Amino acid sequence: MAKAKDTVFFCKECGYESAKWAGQCPACHEWNTFVEAPAEQTVKAAVRKVASIPSDGEKKQVPLADVTATEDERILTHIEEFDRVLGGGIIKGSLVLVGGDPGIGKSTLLTQVCKALSDDGHKVLYITGEESLGQIKLRADRIGSFTENLLVMAETDLDAIEAALSEERPEVAVIDSIQTMYRPDVTGAPGSLGQVRECTALFMQLAKGLSISIFVVGHVTKEGVVAGPRTLEHMVDTVLYFEGEAQGTYRILRGVKNRFGSTNEIGVFEMRSDGLNEVRNPSEFMLMGRPENASGSIVSCSIEGTRPILLEIQALVARTGLGNPRRSSTGIDYNRMNLLIAVLEKRLGFQLSECDAYVNIVGGVRINETALDLAVLIAIASSYLDIIVDAGTIALGEVGLSGEVRNVSMIEARVNEAKKLGFQRCILPKSALKTLQAIDGVELIGVTDVKEAIDRVRGK
């Protein structure tokens, strides 16, 4: 009889399993994603039953018409920025993954959430595998006093954690972090791919079976994604990323997956000595310290979920003696910046092939939508021509390869946000004027192509 194979290979991205290594995953077609793991991890992957989940003898199939559910079944933390990113509050029985760089403030944020919930009368259990109870107490003392509704537990054994959740039945539980948890019946050290996958599967079953909202903290890799198999993100209901510079004071909580709300909402926080403080007006925060009488700077408006946010876009164009000019972008897609530079060279005759070009979105925000194309293009042209854009002007619009300026979504909300911050002029696609009503105090300047937009900036 052939000897059973001790190891198997599985894809980090999609979880596809194979008896042998392959350069490309046949399921998701990603390259170099197969890793080797003990075969016992797959054999012992059966998740234990939770008491409140129906047993085999009970009826499992029911008509959908008989199922009752309410949209208002959410737990409010009263931290408005946090509730906004979740889509209006915490869904009961949901599994939320919170990722971020080490030291960015994930534990501080969740400790404040626990405090807000416990102060409101909700029972919360905070489980840590990285700190002692004394260390948690030291961090909590900086935030404020806590009620008896918040319970803490220092444990990494999933058997003990499952027993605690089944006994206490808290409304919300926090697991800090998933990389420190382990299941005794799964081969592998805590933090290994098999352990992370199996622990998450059990937490998912506990969340659904016991109707406990569970927040799981996950560390990120140097590429900026949660460590462990990509199936980890597929298994949970919501994925939140806590971003920002560890040395800076501002943090951005971004929802990249949400089964119960918008996937592009962001919440802005400021790190202080007593914890994280909400930034209620992100537009004003993003424009703080904006330079005066400087070329290469203009303001645009991005939509993050349902929220319009004003952003300052800076560009620096300088002559270079090198054969290959440098190109650098921060906050926008590098290839999109090169495309806009090519449009300026082809349609307006700018000699940018002889210049270095740098583009930056101030505030550490990364934007993928094309509504900022016109503003990026004007910023580059402003620096190249060394002309100053009027401080009360914003620009909105998508730029095509022919140099035309196209309409963008939710343009009325963007213009109204600019009005709140005191902007008097808005350069936007001419086609948008057909549907956009006049807005008091804001001059709407419609343009059809990039040449007309640059001429407007130059005052022609």
Instruction: Supply the mean pLDDT for the chain.
Output: 86
Which CATH code of 3.30.390.10, 2.60.40.420, 3.30.230.10, 3.30.310.80 fits the domain covering 285-458? 3.30.230.10
Q: Among 316, 319, 315, which residue's Cα sits nearest to residue 354?
A: 319
Q: What is the pLDDT of residue 49?
A: 52
Q: What is the pLDDT of residue 44?
A: 44
User: Is the model's pLDDT at 262 over the cut of 80?
Assistant: no
Tokens of 235: 């298994």
Q: What is the pLDDT of residue 225?
A: 58
Contacts of 91 (CB under 8 A, 6+ apart): 73, 74, 213, 237, 260
Q: Provide mean pLDDT across the span 289-303.
A: 91
Q: What does CATH list as the number for 75-280?
A: 3.40.50.300
HSE-up of residue 127 (Cα within 13 Å, Cβ side): 27
Ranges 65-74, 267-276, 447-456: which has the least confidence: 65-74
Rounding to the nearest 10 degrees, give the CA dihedral for residues 396, 401, 407, 409: -80
User: Is the model's pLDDT at 4 over the cut of 70?
Assistant: no
Percent of the chain with pLDDT over 90: 50
pLDDT digits (tens, 9 = 90+) for 128-156: 998 889 989 988 888 888 999 999 999 99
Most confident of 37-41, 52-56, 308-312: 308-312
Tokens of 133: 């109870």
322, 301 Cβ separation under 8 angstroms: no
425 to 123, 178, 403, 419: CA distances (angstroms): 51, 50, 22, 9
Q: What is the pLDDT of residue 401?
A: 95
Band of pLDDT at residue 244, cut at 50, 70 and 90: confident
User: Is the model's pLDDT at 3 over the cut of 50?
Assistant: no
Rounded to whole angstroms, the Cα distance separating 212 from 171 reads 5
Q: Provide mean pLDDT across the span 203-231.
A: 79
362, 311 Cβ separation under 8 angstroms: yes
Instruction: Provide the residue count of the chain.
Output: 460
Which neighbouring-strand residues pair with 108?
none
pLDDT digits (tens, 9 = 90+) for 362-408: 877 888 889 999 999 999 999 999 999 999 999 999 999 999 999 99
Ranges 34-48, 88-102, 109-123, 427-441: which has the least confidence: 34-48
Rounded to whole angstroms, the Cα distance separating 270 from 416 reads 25
Residue ranges of the domains in the chain?
A: 7-42, 75-280, 285-458
Centroid of chain to Cα 458:
37
User: Is the model's pLDDT at 51 over the cut of 50?
Assistant: no
Q: What is the pLDDT of residue 459?
A: 80
Q: Provide mean pLDDT across the span 20-34.
A: 83
Query: pTM of the prediction?
Result: 0.75
Rounded to whole angstroms, the Cα distance separating 18 from 3 reads 17
User: Is the model's pLDDT at 426 over the cut of 90?
Assistant: yes
User: Is the model's pLDDT at 39 over the cut of 80?
Assistant: no
pLDDT digits (tens, 9 = 90+) for 160-209: 999 999 999 999 999 998 889 988 887 767 777 778 888 888 999 999 99
Q: Provide mean pLDDT across the span 26-50.
A: 63
Higher pLDDT, 113 or 20: 113
Q: Provide mean pLDDT across the span 273-296.
A: 87
Q: What is the pLDDT of residue 252?
A: 86
Band of pLDDT at residue 221, cut at 50, 70 and 90: low
Higher pLDDT, 279 or 152: 152
Q: What is the pLDDT of residue 45?
A: 43
User: Is the model's pLDDT at 115 over the cut of 60?
Assistant: yes
Q: Provide mean pLDDT across the span 216-236.
A: 71
Secondary structure, 3-state, the chain = CCCCCCEEEEECCCCCEECCCCCECCCCCCECCEEEEECHHHHCCCCCCCCCCCCCCCCCCCCHHHCCCCCCCEECCCCHHHHHHHCCCEECCCEEEEEECCCCCHHHHHHHHHHHHHHCCCCEEEEECCCCHHHHHHHHHHHCCCCCCEEEEECCEHHHHHHHHHHHCCCEEEEECHHHCECCCCCCCCCCHHHHHHHHHHHHHHHHHHCCEEEEEEEECCCCCECCCCHHHHHCCEEEEEECCCCCCEEEEEEEEECCCCCCCEEEEEEECCEEEECCCHHHHHCCCCCCCCCCEEEEEEEECCEEEEEEEEEEEEECCCCCCCEEEECCCHHHHHHHHHHHHHHHCCCHHHEEEEEEECCCCCCCCHHHHHHHHHHHHHHHHCCCCCCCEEECCEECCCCEEECCCCHHHHHHHHHHCCCCEEEEEHHHHHCCCCCCCCEEEEECEHHHHHHHHHCC
Higher pLDDT, 148 or 246: 148
Q: What is the pLDDT of residue 248?
A: 66
Question: What radius of gyration, in Å, describes the C-alpha atoms of the chain?
Answer: 26
